[in-house]
A and B are shown apart, each in its own frame.
Chain A
Amino acid sequence: MTFLTYLINGISLGSVYAIIALGYTMVYGIAKMLNFAHGDVIMIGSYTVFVSVSALGLPMPVGMVLSIVLCTVLGIVVEAVAYRPLRGASSLAVLITAIGVSYLLQNIALLIFGANTTSFTSVVNIKPIVLASSEKIVNGETVVTELTVTGESLVTIISCIVIMIGLTLFVNKTKAGQAMLAVSEDKGAAKLMGINVNATISLTFAIGSALAAVAGMLLCSAYPALTPYTGSMPGIKAFVAAVFGGIGSIPGALIGGILLGIIEILSKAYISSQLADAIVFLVLIVVLVVKPTGILGRKLMEKV
């Protein structure tokens, strides 16, 4: 019973990683850059919800929409100001610029909100659901163990599935999605075919950042401590998840994210909470050494 609870928690955390990883994987596929600032967009999104709901007193759905809009705009602006001038420059230069943007976002948040932990109000208002319960008699007393799913977990998992399906359909069925695929294959050829490369890259950043806002809300609903550094570790882990599943692949991000979440929660529960991160990274290394392109890498030429 406890194992199943851990498993559900793992899948829930993994779904958040998967949503963040999607942003990474799409941006990587199309712009061939590691967007280190992606994790910090999560944090900005969560703070937006916090400010609009707790400080301005707006209703929760308005705050959520506001957060998604703000993150989308942020993604587009960051791409246009910081990354676009560097297109064609060495990938290391772009990487360092992304790190600079990440520091910038962290420090803006630090300046506005301070380093103290802010307690985030959950965006989900669903009571925990009891899936199963069993009774055991211990020392003459009946102990009821229940397998419950929190509302947050449920919403997280469902949103992850919806986003995955939506994104796959978008990429495969719409013109804009096909343009994204084309640009990720070959920028020059795409341009010759009349695709607006800059607009397509902007669109990718916009989608990635909007997903980051969603991931931020879900993450902070489950783990309500919000600081300016909230985004950085999940960001790194989501990137690990993207690499784990095969970078550039949408199903890969899902598989990588969920596996990573499960491994993290289970090793926290059964091995050592301090070593959980080390175990997550160790698994990644083993996977990459055995199969250097990740679980779903390359075979599926589905680069976004």
Chain B
Amino acid sequence: MKNILLKQKENLITYGIVIFAYLILELLIATGSITSLLKGLLVPLCVYVILAISLNLTVGILGQLSLGHAGFMCVGAFSSAFFSKLTVGVINPDWLRFLLALIIGFVFAGIVGFLIGMPVLRLRGDYLAIVTLAFGEIIKNIINVLYIGIDSKGVHFSMKDSLSLNLEETGKVIINGAKGITGTPKNSTFTIGTILILVTLFITLNLIKSRDGRAIMAIRDNEIAAESVGINITKYKLMAFTVSAALAGVGGVLYAHNLNSLMATPKNFGYNMSIMILVFVVLGGIGNIRGSMIAAVILTLLPELLRGLSNFRMLIYSLVLIAMMIINWAPGARIARERFLSRLPFFKKRAELTEGGKENG
């Protein structure tokens, strides 16, 4: 009971941090003490935080390594941008259209996650990693050759080029292959982003806390033991994977509605992006939702803060990444750190508390 209360308090702190950070940033914007560069980063920051939270569900809670998270983001982005482009001017209040776009992105990414999860979740570890990576690349490649246009006769579809759509004069091309979707309404704001982070957190934290969540974590800890106590492995694996994919779709919707032209390039939806999100999760602590949020913020801001160093910034970024991993994870460094911290009274108490939390789940 004490642990449940403790956990609830922890969750409230997580929500509190998000709201607090939002208020501070809004205050900074209102007083004009924030550079326009940083302002432009606020929505991407929300996107990355959402993606980090959702991937943590797969990697940290379900314990499966996925390298194709950007693919689900891509599905969410394109399905919702397609919808928004189609209905701009038809469905009028902007918020209603954006809400519908969100739902569409969420559902489509979830469906794709479900379909992909079904065959591949049987695989383990690195094999699963490489297959999810492959799926991410396939999704990106397919979107790059997809042409969809619309005219009075209905929707036309092609995988060759925009001419083979055979559109009428009045028809318009919506998804133009590698050129992607242009003219998506820019509905994403920092406020919406923050609300979506809170919604994502709410879904994730409640899932973790629920009976289903405990089943999922049991699978992570020991698959055979979980199966032997009657947990339906396939069902819970698929559940976690699908929710994770759907939430990545939400991140994609936010991303798509922050850009004028949406293209699937290796940079934004390729495996590099998936790896980037994984870096957030691992650096923040696998299974630690709050940690991955903080890591996402720091690692997104770091290259921008290092901008003064121009050419050296990515070099420093990679060095910081390696150093942080070694300091955080190397067994030798870990022992040294624990020895040092156990001498300080504040951390001593804290270490005992987390130790107690671990035992119960």
Contact = CB atoms under 8 A, between A and B. Distances in A.
B302 interface: no
A174 interface: no
A276 to B, nearest CB: 9
Contacts of A285: 119-120, 131, 134-135
Contacts of A28: 126
B131 A288 contact: yes
Contacts of A36: 275
Interface size class of B (residues with CB under 8 A): 35 or more
B329 A93 contact: yes
B329 A104 contact: no
Contact of A236 (B271, B317, B321): B271
B325 A100 contact: yes
B130 A96 contact: no
Nearest to A93: B329
Which interface residue of A89, A96, A236, A292 has the most chain B CB atoms within 10 A? A96
A36 B126 CA distance: 12
Contacts of A239: 130
Interface size class of A (residues with CB under 8 A): 35 or more
Contacts, number: 128
Interface string A79-122: 00010011111111101110111011001101100000000000
B282 A92 contact: yes
A85 B330 contact: yes
A281 B178 CA distance: 19
A93 B282 contact: yes
B305 interface: no
A85 B134 CA distance: 30
Interface in B285-318: 286, 311-312, 314-315, 317-318
Interface in B83-137: 119-120, 122-127, 129-131, 133-135, 137
A86 B329 contact: yes
Nearest to A273: B145
Contacts of A293: 127
A113 to B, nearest CB: 12
Interface string B261-278: 000000000010001001
A243 B279 CA distance: 23
A93 B321 CA distance: 11
B34 interface: no
Given A34-B126, A96-B325, A104 B315 contact: yes
Contact of A275 (B133, B134, B145, B275): B145
Contact of B286 (A92, A99, A104, A110): A92
A96 B282 contact: yes
Contacts of A85: 326, 330, 332-333
25 contacts: A82-B322, A85-B326, A86-B329, A90-B286, A93-B329, A95-B65, A96-B279, A96-B325, A97-B321, A100-B321, A101-B322, A103-B314, A104-B315, A104-B322, A110-B314, A243-B126, A272-B159, A277-B137, A278-B137, A278-B142, A281-B138, A282-B134, A285-B131, A292-B122, A293-B127
Given A285-B134, A288-B120, 13 more contacts: A91-B125, A104-B322, A110-B314, A111-B315, A239-B130, A240-B130, A277-B141, A278-B141, A278-B142, A281-B135, A285-B120, A285-B131, A292-B127
Interface of B: 59, 65, 119-120, 122-127, 129-131, 133-135, 137-138, 141-142, 144-145, 159, 178, 271, 275, 278-279, 282-283, 286, 311-312, 314-315, 317-319, 321-322, 325-326, 328-333
Q: Which 5 A-B pairs have the closest CB atoms?
A: A281-B134, A103-B318, A93-B329, A278-B141, A100-B321
